[in-house]
Amino acid sequence: MQFNGKTTGNDIQMEVRRPADPTNGFRLETFIDRYALWSQQAIGPGQRTEGVLRHIEKEVQEVRENPDDLEEWIDLINLAIDGATRRGFSSKDIIKGLLDKFMKLQDRKFNQVSEDQPCEHIRGE
């Protein structure tokens, strides 16, 4: 996805062009920055933590009802990005956090549980 932002006073207009391969040239950092900018303009300013969390709860239910719909999973990702950026985390902070957390996860051992139970890491090892 390519973004071309145009600023006019307090209004931010973004033209989104969808290339044949939207992953070609995609940069997560740019996406997060543009998403945060769009959210502030479209939804309004402020941290909105409780509102974002309630929206995530609503989207979790939608995933439960239709787990094969990728768009519902994407809603969760976008809301997590929105919540993090509204709390002041930059795109670089978020990307570093993703990578750091993945490194931790790779080093952990996990209990084997039934498919409908949370699979948490074994603590104390």
In this prediction, residue 13 carries a pLDDT of 58
Count of residues in the chain: 125
In this prediction, residue 14 carries a pLDDT of 58
75, amino acid identity? D
Phi, psi of 45 (to 5 degrees): -80, 175
pLDDT score of 46 more than 50:
yes
> Which residues, 6+ apart, have CB-to-CB distance to 84 below 8 Å?
93, 94, 97
Average pLDDT over residues 23-40: 93
pLDDT band at residue 8 under the 50/70/90 scheme: very low
Per the listing, tokens 């990702």 go with 77
- DSSP string across 22-77: TTTT--HHHHHHHHHHHHHHHT-SS--HHHHHHHHHHHHHHHHH-TT-HHHHHHHH
